[in-house]
Structure formats: structure tokens, C-alpha cells
């Protein structure tokens, strides 16, 4: 209320100055005082511009509402554990791996890098890159654990629909609860957020929804969690 009052008073002062300089302009030119008249014109333009420009400028467009729920991917141990619970609480093997990772990120990633498997090289690269940064190592290790165990799916920002459908179909909760991923109902020309939104229209009546995990990169991480109309996380955690 105070800000609005100050704004109104400022505009009234501006109008008064414009009128004053306008009257001065007329009087100075009428008397042949060209210099003083020019100064009055400059003053009228100076104080009148802020009043006139907003009338012709486009109003600021509101920020677009996210199509699907989005949270920041965690960067510390506590929020990493919370995220794992939200997207894989019922998966005993996944939660065990997460606890082992949180207990000793470096030892866990090093061990995963020495085994045979599709993700061994990625664990090795993460371990070498973040061995002196335990929080980042934990975060990157969590991403690999959730991705390898089919809890989340990672997509390039320009991923094709066929790959999206294939990966989403393989996710654990999609398979466990029979969540539909009908390719024929998805617009091939759309993108990951729009496809997730279309799936949520089918999944939410079943009690689930797709969410995006923001890594501040170009890729999309998609997880499946129980549907709720309100953010389940504290406001100061990582819900957007």
C-alpha cells in the first residue's frame, strides 16, 4: 500500500512539473525569451517522458507456468536421501545402494567402477573428477544409481519421441504399476516437458506423475513419483 501511495504521489508531482514547464514554455516563447523557452521544453520532456512511455510500452509477460513439477537435483547428502525416498522408497535394492553411496561416496563409486557393467566407465569418470569434492561426488553418484536401476530416465534436450517412449516404458514404477506410455497419444513434434505433461494427464488419476529433476544442464532427468496436488517438499528444500 505504501509503495502504491508513493508511486501515485510521484506521478502527481510529475504531472505538476509538466504543467509548470508547459506554461513556462508558452510564456517564454510569447515574450520572445527563446533560450528560457527551450529550457522549459527540455524540462517538460524530461518529466513528461516517464509518464507517457508506459502508455505505449508492452506490459511484462508473466513467467510461464511449468508444465510438470520440477525440482533441483540434490547436491548434499540429506536432500539426496530425501529424493531417493520420494522416487524409490519401495525399491529395497535401490535404497540399499543409496545408503552405501551416502556412507562413503568415494569408496562406492570406486567399487562400481571396477565391476563389469554398462555404467562402470561413468562411475570411473565421476570418481576421478570429483574425488576431492564429496558433495558433488555424492550427487553424481546418486544420478548414476537412479539411472542404472531404471528409477529415472535421462534424455537429451532434443530427444526423439521413440527413445522417450522406450526409456519411460522401462522405468520401474511404470512397469510395476502398469502406467501407460501410449506413443500414439504423444505429439511427435513436441518436447520432453510436453510429453511428460501428456503422461501426467493419464497417470495422475492413477496416483502417479512424472517430474523433472533439474541438474542445471542441457539434459532432462525424469522420475516417477506419487501424485500430489501440493509440493511434498519443504519450501526451503528444492521444490519449484
The answer to whether the beta carbons of residues 91 and 151 sit under 8 Å apart is yes
**Would you state the cell numbers that stand for residue 23, as one nine-digit string?**
506554461
pLDDT per residue of the chain (240 residues) written in tens, 0 to 9: 445 555 656 666 656 665 665 666 676 667 777 677 677 667 666 666 676 666 655 555 545 556 899 999 998 888 999 999 999 999 999 999 999 999 999 999 999 999 888 899 999 999 999 988 988 999 999 999 999 999 999 999 889 999 999 999 999 999 999 999 999 999 999 999 999 999 999 999 999 999 999 988 889 999 999 997 555 544 444 444
**Would you state the cell numbers that stand for residue 93, as one nine-digit string?**
535394492
217 Cβ neighbours under 8 A, 6+ residues apart: none
Q: Cα separation of 137 and 1, whole Å?
A: 48
- The pTM is what? 0.69
Amino acid at each position: 500500500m505504501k509503495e502504491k501511495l508513493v508511486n501515485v504521489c510521484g506521478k502527481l508531482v510529475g504531472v505538476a512539473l509538466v504543467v509548470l514547464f508547459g506554461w513556462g514554455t508558452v510564456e517564454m516563447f510569447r515574450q520572445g525569451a527563446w533560450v528560457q523557452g527551450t529550457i522549459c521544453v527540455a524540462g517538460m520532456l524530461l518529466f513528461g517522458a516517464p509518464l507517457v512511455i508506459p502508455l505505449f510500452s508492452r506490459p511484462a509477460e508473466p513467467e510461464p507456468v511449468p508444465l510438470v513439477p520440477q525440482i533441483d537435483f540434490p547436491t548434499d547428502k540429506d536432500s539426496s536421501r530425501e529424493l531417493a525416498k520420494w522416487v524409490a522408497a519401495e525399491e529395497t535394492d535401490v535404497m540399499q545402494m543409496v545408503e552405501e553411496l551416502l556412507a562413503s561416496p568415494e569408496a562406492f563409486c570406486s567399487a562400481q567402477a571396477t565391476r563389469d557393467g554398462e555404467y562402470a566407465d561413468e562411475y570411473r569418470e565421476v570418481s576421478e573428477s570429483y574425488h576431492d569434492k564429496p558433495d558433488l561426488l555424492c550427487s553424481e553418484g546418486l544420478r548414476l544409481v537412479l539411472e542404472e536401476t531404471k528409477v529415472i530416465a535421462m534424455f537429451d534436450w532434443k530427444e526423439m519421441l521413440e527413445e522417450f517412449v522406450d526409456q519411460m516404458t522401462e522405468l520401474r514404477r511404470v512397469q510395476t504399476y502398469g502406467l501407460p506410455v501410449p506413443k500414439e497419444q504423444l505429439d511427435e513434434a513436441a518436447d520432453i516437458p510436453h510429453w511428460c505433461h501428456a503422461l501426467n494427464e493419464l497417470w495422475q488419476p492413477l496416483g502417479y506423475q512424472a517430474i523433472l529433476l533439474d541438474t542445471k544442464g542441457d539434459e532432462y532427468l525424469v522420475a516417477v513419483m506419487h501424485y500430489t496436488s501440493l509440493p511434498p517438499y519443504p519450501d526451503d528444500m528444492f521444490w519449484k
